[in-house]
Structure formats: C-alpha cells, structure tokens
Amino acid sequence: MKITLYIILSAIFTSIISFGQIYSGPIPKPTSGYGSDGSYTVATQSFSNPNYPAEDIRIYYPLGISSSVPTIFYSHGFGGYQPVNIMGLLNFVAKKGYAIVFVPYQTSSVTNTQRYNNLLSGFIKSARDFPSIIDTTKVGFMGHSFGGGATFANANHCFTNLNWGLSGRFMFASAQWYSLNISQTELLNFPSDVKLLTMVYENDSTNDHRMANDIFNTINIPSSEKDFLLVKSDTISSYTYDAIHGLPNTASSFDALDYYAIYRHLDALCDYTFNGSLAGKDVALGNGSPNQISMPGGMKNLVQSDTPNFSHPQNFYTYPCSSIQNPRQSYCNNVTSIIETSNYSSFSIFPNPANSILNINTELEISKMELFNIQGLLVKTANTKSIQIIDLPNGLYLVKVTFIDNSVVINKVIKE
C-alpha cells in the first residue's frame, strides 16, 4: 500500500499513515540502518485455521520472491487475535525481506494447552503448506505477553522435534506471561545455538518482570547469545513515549518506541542469526553496547542487564511471578544471575560427576555456595569452598557460587 505523508502545520509532530496506522511523536522513523523500513512490497496469504475457524491464519511476506525466505513465527498476546493490533510489525518484517506467520487463537472457551497447540499446529501447517515462502532452516519465534510465554515451549518443539532452524534460529519474547508446557529439564537442555532477546517495559503493570528473568537465566543459552532489555518511558516535547504492557500495538499507538526499541533490535537479530552479521549482534545482543541501548532524540536509553533490579514489588503486577497460576512460582526468587565461568580463568568445580563432596578451585574469596536441584529448589548451602552431597539423590544440579563482590558463577554438576 502507498504511504501518505501528512505535514502537521505545528511542525512539532510528524504523523505518517502507514498501512492504515498513524505514526506519531516528535521523533521520526529511522531512514537508514537497522529499524528503517525495507524496500519490499508486502504480500499476504490467508487460509483457514483448523482450530479457530472464525479467524484465518495469515502469512506476510515479500512480494515477488523466487525462493523461500527466513521466517518469524509470531504468538500474539491474550485477546490480540486481530492482526491489525500489530500490523506495523507484520508489515515491517515483510518489507525487510522476511516472512512472518500470524496464528490467531481463542480468548475464551479453551484451555491454555489448547491455545499453545493452536499456535503450534498453525505454525506447522503454514510451513508444510507454503514451502515456497517459508524456509524452516532459518527461523525465529517471537511472542508478546501470553504469546511471549508460549514462545519457549513451541520453539523447543520445533527446534528439537522438527529440526527447524539448523542454519539459524532465535527467540524474541516481550512482556511475557507465565511459561507453560515446558519443564525445567527441557529449559536446562534447550538447544544452545539459539539466540534469545528478552524485552520488558518499564510501565508494564500486567506481567511481573521476574518471570521473564527466571526463564532468561534458566534456559541453556550462553550469556554471549542472549540479552535482557528494559524499555524506558519518556516525554519529549510534551509527547509521552509510554513503555506499557501493550507495546507494540499499532492499533492504538505507533511511534519511536516501536521502531527504535523493537523493530530495530528485531531487524538486527535477524541479520545476525540468518546472515552472521557481527554488526547485527552488536545491536541485538550487544551486552549493553552503545549501539544496542542508545535511543534517539534525547529519549532515555534502554537498560541492558542480565541481573536486573526490580523496581516494583510483585503485588504491583496483575500477574505476579509468585502466583499459583505460574507453574514456575518456586523459581521466582532463586537463581537470578549467571556469569560465564570463562570470566574466571582460575575457577573450576570438581569432581564432576561427584559422589560425596563438591569442591571449588578459585583464588577469589566467596561469600556462599548454593546447590539447586532440577526443580530449582535450594537443597544445600555453605560458606566454604566445599559442600557435602553424599545424601542427595543422583541427578543434575546447579551450583551457584556468589563472590564477595556479588558476582555469580553457576555451573551444572552431576551427582552419581
């Protein structure tokens, strides 16, 4: 569709109507680099959704492609089954040369497991029925809120059972709700070649940031291939950029937060995952690099931290991490930070596997050592460099070592 530019006489704000939605605010869209609109015309495929006949499955892709393209499988938020809610994102992805699959699921009269299955079966049907569009060797799974929580279980199924993404795969979860249908064992054995970007919003009072942090720190992805970003709210020239739960929702607002916080990082993540671009990695997974966190026009920078500080108590949120609805409620206050052991060249835990005692080899002073079982429950603690384990059942454990400077190292160990 044609993009029409309206020049507002006040010269303070710019509004761009793109695919029926109005871009607002004093800071214009990027015109180059990651986050800028692509040159492709958007084409769509719409077909029946077997599990939700009232709402079709839709694929948005670049018009005129001669072969299949890398594809993002999108899981929408609860109640967001109309694609108009995120039309800006859907069109952005297709204009950049990728495909994106949108599968609606029911809000009422079904269980959460049925919603997950609806999403998964829709993704699989799309890939099966449209191989000329969808390249399953290069895939991303992206989700928001309920869909953000669902991303992990459904991506894990497609990665481990269907071998999707062997030439590149990522997950992008934002403002995520509880993660169902995936066990602690599956998280600890998640394919380690997956890239992960987790994003939360400063003024989100719906979903507790702790549940995003729990999955982020538990999942078996190296810290070099994942990042946790907080998007800040701000006011520029009397215009409020509000980092709320619904971001992005281009049916209600469409501004620089969409492009610079979300689209830009998704664009870079695709380039790094699918093309191996190190420039893309510096933006998407830059571990706090200026290119990753900088925002335009005096807006507050993003905050990158693998060990975030939570500014609100759990009762601030509609859905706190500790809720009985959360199957991972027991993990909310346990393992909260991970630092690669490669940062500590003199550090090791031995023996591994072990039978009766675990020892730490390090010249650094520690404050405590903790041992967590596969369910994430604390089973042993000590303030020395050794810990007795002879009385524990055989199996996989996590050893968390906290140093006096509050840095943390976590290693997997086997008791046998």
What is the full DSSP assignment across 23-78? E-SSSPPP-SSTTS--SPPEEEEEE--TT-TTS-EEEEEETT-SS-EEEEEEEPPT
Residue 93 vs residues 228, 259, 389: alpha-carbon distances, Å: 22, 12, 51
Give CA–CA dist 58/68, Å, rounded. Answer: 16
Q: To the nearest whole percent, how much of the chain has pLDDT over 90?
A: 69
Q: pLDDT-based confidence at 17, cuts 50/70/90? A: very low
Give CA–CA dist 225/281, Å, rounded. Answer: 9
Of the candidates 97, 104, 101, 83, the residue with the CA atom closest to the CA atom of residue 21: 83
Q: pLDDT-based confidence at 105, cuts 50/70/90? A: very high
pTM, 2 dp? 0.80
Give CA–CA dist 379/390, Å, rounded. Answer: 12
Indicate the range of 90-104, 234-248, 299-313 predicted with least confidence: 299-313
Instruction: Please state the length of the chain.
Output: 416
Mean pLDDT, residues 362-373 taken together: 84
Is pLDDT larger for residue 92 or for residue 349?
92
Condensed to tens digits (0 to 9), the pLDDT of residues 22-51 reads: 899 999 999 999 999 999 999 999 999 999
Per-residue pLDDT for 264 more than 70?
Answer: yes
Task: Give the bridge partners for 227, in sequence order.
Answer: 197
Residue 240's H or E segment, with its range, is strand 239-241
Q: pLDDT-based confidence at 346, cuts 50/70/90? A: low
Mean pLDDT, residues 253-281 taken together: 97
| Identity of the highest mean pLDDT range in 135-144, 210-219, 325-334 | 135-144
Condensed to tens digits (0 to 9), the pLDDT of residues 380-409 reads: 888 888 889 999 998 878 788 888 766 667
User: Domain extents for the chain?
Assistant: 31-331, 341-415
Mean residue pLDDT across the chain? 89
Mean pLDDT, residues 370-384 taken together: 80
341-415: CATH topology is Immunoglobulin-like (2.60.40)
3-state helix, strand, coil in the chain (%, to 5): 25, 25, 50
Is pLDDT larger for residue 272 or for residue 342?
272
Task: Give the bridge partners for 378, in sequence order.
Answer: 372
**CATH top class, domain 31-331:** alpha beta
Give CA–CA dist 361/207, Å, rounded. Answer: 40
Mean pLDDT, residues 121-126 taken together: 98
Q: pLDDT-based confidence at 201, cuts 50/70/90? A: very high
DSSP label at 302?
A: P
Per-residue pLDDT for 369 more than 80?
Answer: yes
Read off the amino acid at residue 301.
Answer: N
